[in-house]
Amino acid sequence: MDLRHLRYFQAVAEELSFSKAARRLRVAQPALSRAVQELERDVGVTLIDRHHRTTRLTPAGAVLLHETGVLLERLEDALRRVRRTASGEEGELRLGYIGPPTRHLLGPLLKEYREQYPRVTVILEERTPERVWEMVSQGRLSVGLTRPVLAHEALGLSTLLLCKERLCAAVPLVHPWAKLPSLPWRKLAGEPVVLLARREGAGSHDTILAACKEAEFTPHIVHTPSLIGTVLQYVEAGDGIGIVPEGVAPDASPVKLVPLKPLHHIPLVMVWAAQGDDPAVKAFRELVKEWLKNKRL
């Protein structure tokens, strides 16, 4: 069945006049009559009664007119959705992120993205750095905001550097070091140290150990939890000195972050797979790049 035949039939059924429908569609009346006749042959029933100068729908024709209206409306809606998806206005964005380092930027960034692309479904998944890379490589996440992970550099994923954060000593507010503007790495020698587990961020963990080695001491590590929030809880409880990137402590935290000298930085990156680029995902990446250009990250 030709979709054009349904459109022609709809015009005739609404106008109840072949001549008016032909003018409305800007087609020749004989061609219009043939199209309706072909439709009737395909359906196997009479749809329009033609008696002398009058034209009226049969009961079957009335049903088909209603169903044709529903069908064409759904088709137009589907085509609009197809066009919106192709332009990035509709679709799905599965965003993986690591919690504390993205705390200040993720909310405003997603708010602006939603304002520009309100029809895109955004699904957020907070994961560890290793897990974000793994899920992006498997296609389970569209894009990730995470730390570099050396073990996954061979996966062929694309990355964009968002910022670099200084490594700091995390101490309770009542600790004498809390009032210092900075702290030499060597001061940590002999102190109980709390680090994020290496399996959750090998790059950050190894950078910290390299900085300690550069300062000529081996850290006395007492805890290696899987979450950065747990590192800060150990610090707050007085169980040790945390070594963390500067952006991980909330504004009202009972923990003070003191920059360690000489400075060592931990990057925050955006990671994505180049294959099968979805327009909604590309639109999110372009927004991130715009924020970087305007120094909003």
What are the tens digits of pLDDT across the range 63-74? 888 888 888 888
Distance of CA 230 to the CA centre of its chain: 27
Q: Which backbone phi and psi does 183 adopt, to 5 degrees?
A: -145, 130
The rounded distance, in Å, linking the Cα atoms of 296 and 285 is: 14
Report residue 216 as tokens.
Answer: 């000529």
**54 strand-pairing partners:** 51
Name the DSSP letter for residue 152: G
**48 strand-pairing partners:** 57
**114 strand-pairing partners:** none
Multiple choice CATH, 92-297, 3.40.190.10, 3.40.50.300, 3.40.50.1820, 3.40.190.290: 3.40.190.290
Tell me the CATH number for domain 3-86.
1.10.10.10
Antiparallel, parallel or unpaired: β 255-261 and 158-172 = antiparallel
Contacts of 261 (CB under 8 A, 6+ apart): 182, 183, 184, 185
Q: Residues spanned by CATH 3.40.190.290 within the chain?
A: 92-297
Could you list the pLDDT tens digit for every one of the 297 residues in the chain? 678 888 888 988 888 888 888 998 889 989 888 989 999 888 888 899 887 677 888 888 888 888 888 888 887 777 776 776 666 567 889 999 998 889 889 999 999 999 999 989 999 999 888 889 999 998 899 999 998 876 656 567 899 999 999 999 999 999 999 999 999 999 999 999 999 998 877 788 899 999 999 999 999 999 999 888 899 999 999 999 999 999 887 777 899 999 999 999 999 999 998 775 788 899 999 999 999 999 887
Evaluate whether 100 touches 228 at the Cβ level (below 8 Å): yes
pLDDT in tens, 142-170: 999 998 876 656 567 899 999 999 999 99
**32 strand-pairing partners:** none
In the block, tokens 């409306």 appear at 73
Q: What is the pLDDT of residue 20?
A: 87
The rounded distance, in Å, linking the Cα atoms of 27 and 21 is: 9
3-state class of 165 per DSSP? strand
Interhelix angle 202-214/129-137, nearest 10 degrees = 140
Q: What is the pLDDT of residue 181?
A: 96
Report residue 270 as tokens.
Answer: 């955006």
**165 strand-pairing partners:** 266
Q: What is the pLDDT of residue 107?
A: 92
Q: Residues spanned by CATH 1.10.10.10 within the chain?
A: 3-86
Contacts of 186 (CB under 8 A, 6+ apart): 215, 216, 217
Evaluate whether 113 touches 122 at the Cβ level (below 8 Å): yes
Query: Among 149, 106, 97, which residue's Cα sits nearest to residue 127?
Result: 97
H or E stretch covering 121: strand 119-126
Q: What is the pLDDT of residue 255?
A: 94
- Exposed e or buried b for every residue in 135-171, given b needs 16+ CB within 10 A? bbbeeebbbbbbbbbeebeeeebebeebeebbbbbbb
3-state class of 199 per DSSP? helix
Q: What is the pLDDT of residue 218?
A: 96
The rounded distance, in Å, linking the Cα atoms of 150 and 130 is: 9
